[in-house]
Amino acid sequence: MSNESAPASAPGIADPAPLGLLGFGFTTLMLSLSNANLFKGTDGVGLVLALAVFYGGGAQLVAGIWDFKRGNLLGATAFFSYGSFWLIFWYWAKEENEGGATSNGLAWFFLGWAVITAIFALAALKSSHALLATLTFLTLTFLFLAFGEWQNATGPDPAALTKVGGWLGIVTGLLAWYTAGATIVNTAHKRELLPTNLKR
């Protein structure tokens, strides 16, 4: 997750943003496919949890450490935060059958992450449009997942808002993939082949 105002990177350390964004995007996409009810039953649950530990969690923590070293405050804070999110999610899912969080508790959990993500989105206003779009859709994803959990506790159609959050999460994951892919391709070719900003 790059920030155009970040200090010059430390020598010998590659940009960790593509690694973090790919790990984030893939794990978010898989979970969101489940939230959108595109998996049958428990299909994909084991893969989501494995991704949450090793790619969503582990890769983003590594990316966060590298960005701290490079002096990129936004990237370091965001990657380390979302890496932690996925490890928390994995632990919660593992313990869910042993008295996990209630719908109300999960709603506040997702709402808290919506606020954190909105802060990152504000910080990314001077970054690429692709990154800003990713964080904006992620904020909306967390909001609808929160609303879905509250609806799950009281509403007649408990899955409706969670499904909306799932579809928003699918868009978020794809945007993260595109942002990562653009960074890798443009860096490899030393010119912009995949645009990350809208033409003004």
* 26-73 pLDDT, tens digit each: 999 999 999 998 987 677 888 999 999 999 999 999 999 999 999 999
Query: 115 is in which domain, residue-wise?
Result: 17-189
Each residue of 56-83: b (16+ CB within 10 Å) or e? bbbbbbbbbebbbebebebbbbbbbbbb
- 103 pLDDT band (50/70/90 cuts)? confident
- Residue 6 domain flag: no
Residue 11 makes CB contacts below 8 A (sequence gap 6+) with none
- Residue 136 domain flag: yes
Looking at per-residue pLDDT, the higher value among 151 and 159 belongs to 151
- Residue 200 domain flag: no
We report the CATH number of the domain holding residue 118 as 1.25.40
- Residue 12 domain flag: no
- 102 pLDDT band (50/70/90 cuts)? confident
Looking at residue 4, what is its pLDDT? 47
- 158 pLDDT band (50/70/90 cuts)? low
Say whether pTM exceeds 0.85.
Answer: yes
**pLDDT of 101 strictly over 70:** no
Structural domain count of the chain: 1
Looking at residue 104, what is its pLDDT? 86
Looking at residue 11, what is its pLDDT? 59
